[in-house]
């Protein structure tokens, strides 16, 4: 009785495990046994990986640039405050 549910073909078995409802599911890749197709997919995914790596590097560089900009602005503000204190000393100390 349980034997009737077991598919005879390995590929059919994998399809049933992958998608037991047999409805097309968006985003799900149908397994293939074609080596050329698999190699093509690998090349496509490596291209995507390279693009993502490059984009990650760009984002990291942008973050570091913005952090440097914040540091520079804080240094300028602190220098401006120090210069203002030397030009206009506190009037409460002199009197």
Range from 6-10, 31-35, 54-58, 81-85 carrying the lowest mean pLDDT: 6-10
Tell me if 28 sits within 8 A of 19, measured CB to CB.
yes
SS3 73: helix
Q: Is residue 93 part of a domain?
A: no
Q: Is residue 63 part of a domain?
A: yes
Residue 91 has pLDDT above 80, yes or no: no
pLDDT tens track for 14-44: 666 666 665 555 555 666 778 898 899 999 9
Structural domain range at position 12: 2-87
Indicate the average pLDDT of the chain. Answer: 79
pTM for this entry: 0.50
Q: Is residue 92 part of a domain?
A: no
How many domains in the chain?
1
Quote the pLDDT of residue 1.
46
* Share of the chain residues as helix, strand and coil, in percent rounded to the nearest 5: 75, 0, 25
């Amino acid at each position: 009785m349980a034997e009737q549910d077991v598919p005879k073909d390995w590929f059919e078995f994998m399809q049933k495990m992958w998608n037991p409802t047999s409805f097309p599911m968006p985003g799900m890749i149908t397994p293939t046994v074609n080596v050329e197709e698999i190699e093509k997919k690998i090349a496509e995914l490596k291209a995507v990986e390279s693009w993502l790596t490059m984009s990650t590097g760009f984002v990291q560089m942008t973050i570091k640039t913005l952090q440097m900009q914040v540091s520079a602005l804080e240094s300028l503000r602190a220098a401006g405050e120090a210069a203002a204190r030397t030009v206009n000393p506190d009037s409460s100390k002199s009197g």
